[in-house]
């Protein structure tokens, strides 16, 4: 790929990153705290691309015949260079969705610890709004002690459980989507019958029932659902 083609790819990639950070689409790929680093990297790419194009577009002395010869022999290289711009252009125009039910079906649950931990009581007042990870830890490793007798509210998307029934799930990130791991909560009672990746907010009660994840043999706790409502996907879809 020649220099102008490289500059255009950098410009498109930098523009795609800037667009993603401006519209919050970047939250589909990385955690919120990485936004300043993304903006800095995008600006650096755009600046480098502009400087390269400015240099290449200047009139420079040289042998015209030699440049024509290089153009003739490098024609196929130029075509490849244009093709390499397509992924960057696609990223600029089309934003891939966040990780969802497909990841849940292919990856084991994040609840892989074995030790029991005592958790502090939940804050007063029902419903107690918990993340799926916090509910999972309290349900499995604290044996539901702090969950008993409380109304719990969880938010996540619908995926298919090990028993073929709908379950609630959400993806946990350590840094970016490449290291995303699902947290899975089984459902009983008034279970939402919705397509996979539908976002819901459920209210219910802890029950002493668990299942095994067939992928990594981890625990899947359950919730007895009393009520639920379908919601729009949140801006920050990862826990």
Q: How far apart are the first and last CA of the chain?
A: 40
| Coil/strand/helix, residue 194 | coil
Task: Tell me what pLDDT residue 70 has.
Answer: 47
Q: Which residues of the chain fall short of a pLDDT of 70?
A: 1-2, 4-5, 26, 59-96, 114-116
Q: Please determine, looking at this structure, whether the domain spanning 101-230 carries the CATH number 1.20.1250.
A: no
| Coil/strand/helix, residue 179 | helix
Task: Tell me what pLDDT residue 152 has.
Answer: 97
For the chain, the domains span 3-93, 101-230
Task: Tell me what pLDDT residue 209 has.
Answer: 93
Work out whether the CA dihedral 203, 115, 183, 165 comes out positive or negative. Answer: negative
**DSSP one-letter string for 33-92:** GGHHHHHHHHHHHHHHHHHHHHHHHS-----HHHHHHHHHHTHHHHHHHHHHHHHHHHHH
Task: Tell me what pLDDT residue 99 has.
Answer: 85
Beta bridge partners, 223, equal 187, 206
CA distance 239 to 136: 13
**Residues, the chain:** 239
Tokens 């410009």 identify what position? 11
Greatest CA separation for the chain: 85
Which stretches of 131-217 are DSSP H helices?
A: 132-140
Side-chain half-sphere of 185: how many Cα atoms within 13 Å?
35
* Token pair for 220: 């899947």
Task: Output the pTM of the full model.
Answer: 0.72
Pairing mode, if any, of strands 219-230 and 181-189?
A: parallel
Tokens 């920050």 identify what position? 236
């Amino acid at each position: 790929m020649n220099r102008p083609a490289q500059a255009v790819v950098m410009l498109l990639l930098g523009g795609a990153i800037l667009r993603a950070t401006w519209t919050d689409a970047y939250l589909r790929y990385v955690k919120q705290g990485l936004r300043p680093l993304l903006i800095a990297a995008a600006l650096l790419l755009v600046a480098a691309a502009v400087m390269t194009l400015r240099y290449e577009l200047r009139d420079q002395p040289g042998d015209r015949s030699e440049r024509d010869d290089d153009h003739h022999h490098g024609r196929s290289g130029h075509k490849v260079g244009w093709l390499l711009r397509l992924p960057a252009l696609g990223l600029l125009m089309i934003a891939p969705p966040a990780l969802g039910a497909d990841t849940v079906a292919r990856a084991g649950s994040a609840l892989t610890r074995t030790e029991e931990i005592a958790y502090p009581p939940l804050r007063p007042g029902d419903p107690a709004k918990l993340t799926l990870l916090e509910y999972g830890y309290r349900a499995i490793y604290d044996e539901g002690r702090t969950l008993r007798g409380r109304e719990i509210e969880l938010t996540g998307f619908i995926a298919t459980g090990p028993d073929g029934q709908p379950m609630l799930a959400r993806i946990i990130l350590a840094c970016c989507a490449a290291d995303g791991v699902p947290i899975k909560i089984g459902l009983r009672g008034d279970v939402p019958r919705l397509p996979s990746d539908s976002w819901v907010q459920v209210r219910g009660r802890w029950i002493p029932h668990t299942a095994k994840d067939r992928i990594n043999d981890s625990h899947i706790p359950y919730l007895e659902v009393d009520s639920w409502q379908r919601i729009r996907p949140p801006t920050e879809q990862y826990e």
